[in-house]
A = this chain, B = another copy of it.
Amino acid sequence: MVVAALARTVLRHPAARFILHGDETALKALLAKRAKLAERITIRHAAEQVRMEEKPSLALRRGRNTSMWRAIESVKNKEAEVIVSAGNTGALMAMSMFQLGVLDGISRPAIAAIWPTKRGQSIVLDVGANISCDAEQLVDFAVMGEAFARAILGLERPTVGLLNVGSEDAKGHDAVKSAAHLLRNASLPMEYAGFVEGGDISDGTVDVVVTDGFTGNVALKTAEGTARLVVHFLRQALRSSFFGRIGGLIASGALKALRRKLDPSSSNGGIFLGLNGIVVKSHGGADAMGFAGALDMAIDMADAGVIARIVADRANMISATIEAAAS
């Protein structure tokens, strides 16, 4: 799957070079028939691998010889600019934090997802790295998400919303209310748009939706489940009548395009933000097309200098906060 994805990505990014970490014999055999691709790939042998269900703490302790550890190490050593993995999310985060370290001034890294909306795409974070978050962390996520939206969605001034159960000031728990207060009063160079609700994510009301990792993870998986349910209902509806079946057959090309659009692997990957290095997590069940999407995103992130932007924004924000406090 990874090699097939690389074959797609090299066509779009002729300048990119790749280091493949894993079982050397197996990888060599896969590349044997692809001489052109093999020229742009360096294979690094790793004897072990992190299992999908392995506890992050265990993986971190015993994992120095795994392909995941080595891949992160190659970013740490500046041999590579980005790591892309479809492996165990928790282990990838733990190893990335340990090896790459967290950006100065950022309390905790977050996982960002690119979410399809009526207006295009939005960024939602955190979708699973931090189970509970205080106001300061939510503000960090807003800063990171905004920098990311500028870099990846190409927006000059992305709007940022805090996910809540209503749009009125008095709604929500303490963390979200305090974060709103900070974002409103910090005179940040950021278009803070206030509270948004669950329905606003898919509507595309704002470009960046900020939430804690528990709520974000539930929202993301609920949305994926709902998309599957609607497609299931659509199939049922088309099968339930003669005209439905005929119409469905005639429109089958359009309906296939719809299914591709809703396939989670097409807007594939969580991005770990807040680390001294770029880490892209591809969906565990991704196919070659999905993994190629994650590779493309990783290359775009490196080109756009996302990390430098986050560092600069966070510094601006701290000085803005200090100025506000002093005045």
Contact = CB atoms under 8 A, between A and B. Distances in A.
Contacts of A17: none
A203 B218 CA distance: 14
Interface residues of A, number: 63
Interface stretch (A102-110, A141-149, A243-251, A287-295): A243-251
A151 B305 CA distance: 57
Contact of A230 (B219, B250, B262): B262
A232 interface: yes
Q: Is the interface of A mostly helix, strand, loop or mixed?
A: helix
Contacts of A213: 165
A218 B257 contact: no
A253 B246 CA distance: 12
Contacts of A225: 198-203, 223
B198 A221 contact: yes
A131 interface: yes
A138 to B, nearest CB: 13
A173 interface: yes
B247 A254 contact: yes
Interface stretch (A36-44, A75-83, A234-242, A276-284): A234-242
Contacts of A323: none
Contacts of A220: 198
Count identical subunits in the complex: 2
B234 A258 contact: yes
Nearest to A163: B218
A241 B253 contact: yes
Given A222-B219, A251-B247, A172 B230 contact: no
A219 B200 CA distance: 12
A214 interface: yes
Contacts of A173: 131-132, 214
A215 interface: yes
Contact of A258 (B198, B202, B233, B249): B233
Nearest to A219: B222
Contacts of A132: 173
Nearest to A222: B198
Contact of A228 (B199, B240, B253, B258): B199
Contact of A226 (B163, B214, B227, B255): B227
B248 A221 contact: no
A229 B202 contact: yes
Contacts of A199: 221-222, 224-225, 228
Contact of A237 (B211, B223, B254): B254
A230 B227 contact: yes
A322 interface: no
A258 B238 CA distance: 9
A249 B170 CA distance: 47
> Which 3 residue pairs spanning A and B have beta carbons closest together?
A247-B251, A198-B221, A244-B254
